């Protein structure tokens, strides 16, 4: 069989055969480098999944303890039936995100919600809690951003962080009549949804119809309660967002590890096929060369 191939191979230049061999070796080297890099990425994603799983369990425990703060603060506005004054409405939206990525569409969902509201009402002012929301909203609505709070997401949020953020919002100088806190509400390990909690100013609360139900409420008491309720709502929404972020990152890293595993299998199969083709070609060249020498003798 190989003797019939000898006349054809003898007419092929040696430089072309050497180039084909080098091309095969270069392909093998490129596949080997890519295979090694994908394996390293898989190790990183698996490690990040384990870290996120540990942080998620802690965030879920903290969320159960923080929920009474948010539920209790919302009850007052619902019972008193507080509504904003439409004739002089100044809205303020607070976007609860973080500085860290690699967690799916957690941050983009909040930014997309605010972007839709800004498209309908361009006079809304926005406070970005976390650098991710600022990066998304500043492209089109940079003028609407009043303040940005950074260093969010590295450590679990505390009530002290929420109190500092509340103090910065109240001392911002922007007198809003009403607004919303937009955050990710945790539902399960693989599910969360974008939700909002209304916030109101002192004038809106004082003009509520059912406020006289509560006895001995003057402006100072209402103002003190509004400050505490805003801090409580911020603390609650930050806990909800942190738990949603960790669960989403855990799911994203799990999917990334599975995708890396599938890519490793495909690259390994391609590497083996290419190596087998190179070996077969080299054997054909060796046997053909030996047969050519025998025929000359």
Q: Are 276 and 131 in contact (CB under 8 A)?
A: no
Give the pLDDT mean for 251-276: 93
pLDDT of the residue at 207: 81
Helices (H), 142-218: 159-170, 202-206
Pairing of strands 145-149, 125-129: parallel
- β-pair partners for 191: 188
At 157, the pLDDT band (50, 70, 90 cuts) reads: very high
* 211-229 pLDDT per residue, tens: 777 777 778 888 888 999 9
**C-alpha to C-alpha distance for 129 and 238, rounded to whole angstroms:** 9
Strands (E), 143-215: 145-149, 178-188, 191-200
Is the overall model pTM greater than 0.85, yes or no? no
Using the predicted structure, report yes or no on whether residue 97 has a pLDDT greater than 90: yes
How many Cα atoms within 13 Å fall on the side-chain side of residue 11? 4
* DSSP per-residue letters across 28-79: HHHHHHHHHHHHHHHHHHHHHHHHHHHHHHHHHHHHHHHHHHHHHHHHHHHH
The structural architecture, per CATH, of the domain 63-246 is: 3-Layer(aba) Sandwich (3.40)
């Amino acid at each position: 069989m190989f003797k019939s191939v000898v006349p054809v191979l003898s007419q092929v230049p040696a430089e072309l055969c050497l180039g084909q061999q080098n091309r095969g070796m270069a392909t093998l080297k490129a596949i080997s480098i890519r295979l090694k890099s994908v394996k390293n990425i898989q190790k990183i994603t698996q490690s990040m999944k384990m870290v996120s799983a540990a942080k998620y369990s802690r965030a879920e425990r903290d969320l159960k303890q923080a929920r009474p703060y948010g539920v209790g603060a919302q009850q007052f506005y619902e019972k008193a039936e507080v509504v904003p004054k439409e004739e002089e409405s100044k809205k303020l939206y607070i976007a609860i995100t973080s500085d860290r990525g690699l967690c799916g569409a957690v941050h983009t969902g909040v930014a997309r919600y605010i972007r839709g509201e800004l498209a309908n009402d361009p006079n809304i002012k926005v406070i970005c809690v976390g650098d991710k929301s600022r990066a998304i909203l500043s492209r089109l609505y940079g003028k609407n951003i009043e303040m940005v709070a950074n260093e969010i997401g590295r450590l679990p949020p505390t009530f002290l962080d929420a109190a500092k953020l509340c103090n910065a919002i109240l001392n911002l100088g922007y007198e809003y009549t009403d607004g919303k806190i937009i955050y990710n509400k945790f539902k399960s390990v693989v599910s969360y949804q974008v939700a909002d909690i209304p916030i109101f100013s002192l004038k809106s609360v004082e003009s509520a119809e059912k406020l006289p139900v509560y006895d001995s409420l003057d402006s100072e008491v209402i103002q003190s309660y509004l400050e505490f309720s805003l801090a409580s709502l911020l603390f609650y929404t930050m806990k909800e967002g942190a738990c949603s972020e960790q669960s989403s990152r855990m799911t994203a890293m799990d999917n990334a590890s599975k995708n890396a595993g599938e890519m490793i299998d495909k690259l390994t199969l391609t590497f083996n096929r290419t190596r087998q083709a190179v070996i077969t070609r080299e054997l054909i060249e060796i046997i053909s060369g030996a047969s050519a020498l025998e025929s000359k003798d």
